[in-house]
């Protein structure tokens, strides 16, 4: 966070507008009730004000040597992480990096059962030489190094830089070590849970901060290995935990992995605008507390803290959130399949009416403590960010639809409202926690900016939404180079659409930025002329057309935009 004044900026998301219950049928949803969860106590992270935010000056004044000392009073355990990597022997530093990962990564961490992983990590490598590939059922040196690389994405401490002074090389040594161990894993060992988890972890790192080509290959490998592993599990393991503790742990770890990866893949394929490439798991959604803070056992059971900014605890709500994420993943699956299969106007309108009703019902069915106006948990803010992005994807490329299909609300009104809701959530996240390290905020910012291209009338809230999306991507791009590709994609769409950008909304698009090949196959539907186009760019000669980032960026050698 650049200043305490930034921390005081807060734009709460507006409550949803009224809907006509009779026009929105209650669609079928997965058979899971939130009633089983107790309503938690009211959280109050903001109640303590900016004093709870430990910036550099405050830390120095309080005598903390570095970020890893901030939770000293919580007496966190120091894990024997150095046994699993040859990059460092400093267990305190390595444990701090893992704590950053568990505290702030709310996406790829969903596929790992933390307690089971920690028990395996603490069991050690049984004296194996440092640098060797060590694999157990729930932990491996490959997986640990990949996890440390991702954890470094949340740190700007010089000790984690591979090149002194270059923040974009943070975690590179761990990533290179993970890549070396992956080659050994592939050559000498059969596919295992840790192989797939480590591959997806390394994908997160390379796609956001490293080699985009390698990121694409790792993503393909991760999808393929996921299918192989789940097929093996279905053949060899029971669908419910057995009485043996080892088999029970195996089932818990696999079910956490299966559903966590399904949720992650849904968000990935929503960004790429393509049908999901993995199947929905057949096992029950797990409801463990694996996503609470690693310090919850020392502060308050089942809590989350903004490590290392604050010791104030909030109820993690992890089980409720994870169920909601998995249900939303199934809706993403439906929407992406529908967009791929829809080929007629009547089919499009009926499908959008049905899926819009499901999106409304999903949000209405959430318990009050998961509504965006009642919590400041970062992963709940991102959950609603994804929900709004999904609506924008549902209607992307659609010229018009009768308001009767959308609960009496116009398509334009809903687009503007959902884009504004995305940026309200991003701005809340930015004010509380800083947005620069949150890689998944790119998805919502890009969706909001694209949705506003048709509505950029000077002086309107639409321009504010567009400018905030570009500003957030610019801030993220300081630490995560992938964000710069999204800014270049927006610039390509602006040029393609021939819209005039008000000067105060264009300043973040004036500089030419380095792009990442990882985004080359992302598809987006954009207005490029006059006429009626079908969903997802069925008419390239007028109206909307579907374009990949490669097509958008290929014509930016003279990136002139119309600026008012």
Q: What is the pLDDT of residue 31?
A: 40
Q: How many Cβ atoms are within 10 Å of 10's Cβ, its own excluded?
A: 13
Cβ burial 293-320 (10 Å sphere, 16+ → b, else e): bbbbebbbebbbbbbbbbbbbbbbbbbb
pLDDT at 35: 38
pLDDT of residue 27: 47
Q: Is the pLDDT of residue 262 over 50?
A: yes
**CB-based burial of residue 49 (10 Å sphere; 0-12 exposed, 13-18 middle, 19+ buried)?**
exposed
Residue-wise pLDDT tens digits, 509-520: 887 777 777 777
Query: What are the tens digits of pLDDT across the range 191-232?
Result: 999 999 999 999 999 999 999 999 999 999 999 999 999 888
CA distance between the termini of the chain:
32
207/213 Cα distance (integer angstroms): 8
Q: pLDDT band for position 85 (50/70/90)?
A: very high
**549 alpha-carbon distance from chain centroid:** 20
Q: How far apart are CA 202 and CA 185, in angstroms?
A: 14
More confident residue, 398 or 87: 87
Rounded CA separation 395/405 (Å): 12
pLDDT-above-70 percentage for the chain: 76
**pLDDT score for 382:** 97
Crossing angle for the helix pair 441-451 and 411-433, to the nearest 10 degrees: 150
Q: Which of 551, 559, 503, 497 minimizes the C-alpha distance to 523?
A: 551
Backbone angles phi, psi at 562, to 5 degrees: -80, 120
Report the pLDDT averaged over residues 99-115. 93
Greatest pairwise CA separation for the chain in angstroms? 70
HSE toward the beta carbon, residue 222, CA cutoff 13 A: 24
Residue 350's beta-bridge partner residues?
none
Structure confidence by residue, pLDDT tens digits, 339-379: 988 766 666 888 899 999 999 999 999 999 999 889 899 99
**CB 502, CB 564: distance < 8 Å:** yes
What percentage of the chain exceeds 90 in pLDDT? 54
Nearby residues of 316 by Cβ (< 8 Å), 6 or more positions away: 289, 291, 292, 293, 296, 302, 303, 304, 377
Question: Which helix (DSSP H) or strand (DSSP E) does residue 548 occupy?
Answer: strand 544-548
Written as six digits, the tokens of 220 are: 């393909």
Whose CA is closest to 229, among 205, 260, 204, 208? 260
What's the mean pLDDT in 498-523?
79
Mean pLDDT over residues 22-49, rounded?
Answer: 38
Of the two residues 563 and 72, the one the predictor is more confident about is 563
Residues with Cβ within 8 Å of 38's Cβ and at least 6 positions away in sequence, in order, are none
* Rg from Cα positions in the chain: 23
In this prediction, residue 307 carries a pLDDT of 86
pLDDT for 76 equals 65
- For residue 140, what are the β-bridge partners? 135
Is residue 108 within 8 A of residue 438, CB to CB? The reply is: no
DSSP character at residue 525:
E
- Give me the chain's average pLDDT, please: 81
| Total-model pTM | 0.84
The closest of 118, 30, 42 to 317, measured between CA atoms, is 42
Here the tokens at position 65 are 């040597």
pLDDT band at 21 (very low <50, low <70, confident <90, very high): very low
Q: For residue 490, is pLDDT > 80?
A: yes
Look at residue 333 in the predicted model and tell me its pLDDT.
Answer: 98
- Write the CA distances from 214 to 208, 217, 384, 486, integer angstroms: 11, 5, 30, 19
Where residue 561 falls among pLDDT bands split at 50, 70, 90?
Answer: low
Residues 230-254: pLDDT tens digits? 888 765 555 454 546 667 778 889 9
114-167 pLDDT tens trace: 999 999 999 999 889 999 999 999 999 999 999 999 999 999 999 999 999 999
User: Who wins on pLDDT, 497 or 462?
Assistant: 462
> What pLDDT sits at residue 346?
63
Decide: helix, strand or coil at residue 544: strand
Minimal CA–CA distance to 23: which of 384, 387, 409?
409
Report whether 485 contacts 515 (CB < 8 A): yes
- Decide: 317 and 380 in contact? Cβ < 8 Å: yes
* pLDDT, tens digit, 9 for 90 and up, residues 47-69: 333 333 333 333 443 344 444 44
pLDDT tens-digit series, residues 376-405: 999 999 999 999 999 999 998 887 777 667
Query: Which residue has better confidence, 338 or 401?
Result: 338
Q: Is the pLDDT reported for residue 24 higher than 50?
A: no
pLDDT band at 15 (very low <50, low <70, confident <90, very high): very low
In contact, 523 and 273? CB cutoff 8 Å = yes
User: Looking at residue 86, what is its pLDDT?
Assistant: 97
Confidence at residue 226, expressed as pLDDT on a 0 to 100 scale? 95
Whether the ω angle into residue 506 lies within 30 degrees of 0, i.e. cis, is no
Average pLDDT for 84-102: 95
Q: Is the pLDDT of residue 8 over 50?
A: no
Ranges of H-type helices in 156-244: 172-188, 193-209, 212-236
Contact in structure between 219 and 211 (CB atoms under 8 Å): no
Tokens of 266: 């849904």
Query: CB-based burial of residue 37 (10 Å sphere; 0-12 exposed, 13-18 middle, 19+ buried)?
Result: middle
> Residue 271: is its pLDDT beyond 90?
yes
Examine the pLDDT at 300 and tell me if it is beyond 50. yes
Residue whose C-alpha is closest to residue 559's, from 512, 490, 499, 498: 512
Q: What does the buried/exposed string (b/e) look like for 119-145 if buried means 16 or more CB atoms within 10 Å of the residue's CB?
A: ebbeeebeeeeeeebbbbebbbbbbbb
CB within 8 Å of 391: residues ≥ 6 apart? 356, 359, 414, 418
Q: Residue 88: pLDDT band by 50, 70, 90 thresholds?
A: very high
User: How far is 171 from 163, CA to CA, in rounded Å?
Assistant: 10
CA angle 241, 245, 249 (to 5 degrees): 65
Q: Which residue has the tokens 């490029």?
A: 528
Per-residue model confidence (pLDDT) at position 445: 98
């Amino acid at each position: 966070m650049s200043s305490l004044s930034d921390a005081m900026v807060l734009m709460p998301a507006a409550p949803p507008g009224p809907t006509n219950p009779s026009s929105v049928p209650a669609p079928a949803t997965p058979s899971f009730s939130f009633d089983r969860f107790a309503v938690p106590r009211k959280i109050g992270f903001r109640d303590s004000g900016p004093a709870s935010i430990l910036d550099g000056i405050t830390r120095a004044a309080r005598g903390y040597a570095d970020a890893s000392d901030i939770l000293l009073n919580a007496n966190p355990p120091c894990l024997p992480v150095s046994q699993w990597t040859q990059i460092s022997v400093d267990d305190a530093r390595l444990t701090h990096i893992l704590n950053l990962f568990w505290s702030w990564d709310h996406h790829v961490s969903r596929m790992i059962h933390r307690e089971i992983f920690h028990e395996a990590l603490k069991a050690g490598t049984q004296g194996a030489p440092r640098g060797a590939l060590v694999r157990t059922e729930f932990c491996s040196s490959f997986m640990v190094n990949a996890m440390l690389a991702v954890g470094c994405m949340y740190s700007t401490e010089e000790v984690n830089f591979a090149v002194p002074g270059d923040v974009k090389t943070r975690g590179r040594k761990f990533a290179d070590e993970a890549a070396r161990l992956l080659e050994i894993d592939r050559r000498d060992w059969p596919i295992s849970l840790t192989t797939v988890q480590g591959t997806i972890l390394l994908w997160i790192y390379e796609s956001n901060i490293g080699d985009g080509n390698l990121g694409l290959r790792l993503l393909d490998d991760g999808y393929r290995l996921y299918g192989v592993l789940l097929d093996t599990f279905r053949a060899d393991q029971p669908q419910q935990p057995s009485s043996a503790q080892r088999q029970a742990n195996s089932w818990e770890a696999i079910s956490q992995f299966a559903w966590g990866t399904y949720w992650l893949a849904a968000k990935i394929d929503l960004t790429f605008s393509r049908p999901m490439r993995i199947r929905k798991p057949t096992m029950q959604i797990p409801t463990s507390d694996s996503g609470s803070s690693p310090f919850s056992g020392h502060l308050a059971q089942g809590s989350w803290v903004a490590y290392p900014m604050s010791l104030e605890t909030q109820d993690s709500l992890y089980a409720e959130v994870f169920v909601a994420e998995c249900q939303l993943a199934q809706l993403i699956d439906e929407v992406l399949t529908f967009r791929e299969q829809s080929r007629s106007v009547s089919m499009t309108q009926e499908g959008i009416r049905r899926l819009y009703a499901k999106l409304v019902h999903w949000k209405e069915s959430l318990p009050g403590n998961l509504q965006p106006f009642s919590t400041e948990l970062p992963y709940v803010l991102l959950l609603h960010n994804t929900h709004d992005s999904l609506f924008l994807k549902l209607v992307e490329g659609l010229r018009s639809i009768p308001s009767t299909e959308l609960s009496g609300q116009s398509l334009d009104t809903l687009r503007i409202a959902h884009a504004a809701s995305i940026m309200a959530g991003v701005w809340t996240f930015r004010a509380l926690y800083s947005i620069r390290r949150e890689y998944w905020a790119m998805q919502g910012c890009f969706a909001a900016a694209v949705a506003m291209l048709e509505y950029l009338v000077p002086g309107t809230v639409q321009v504010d939404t567009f400018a905030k999306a570009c500003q957030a991507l610019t801030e993220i791009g300081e630490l995560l180079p992938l964000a710069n590709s999204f800014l270049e994609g927006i610039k390509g769409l602006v040029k393609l659409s021939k819209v005039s950008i008000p000067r105060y909304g264009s300043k973040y698009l004036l500089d030419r930025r380095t792009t990442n090949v990882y985004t080359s196959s992302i598809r987006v539907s954009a207005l490029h002329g006059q006429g009626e186009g079908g969903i997802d760019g069925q008419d390239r000669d007028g109206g909307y057309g579907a374009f990949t980032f490669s097509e958008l960026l290929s014509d930016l050698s003279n990136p002139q935009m119309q600026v008012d």
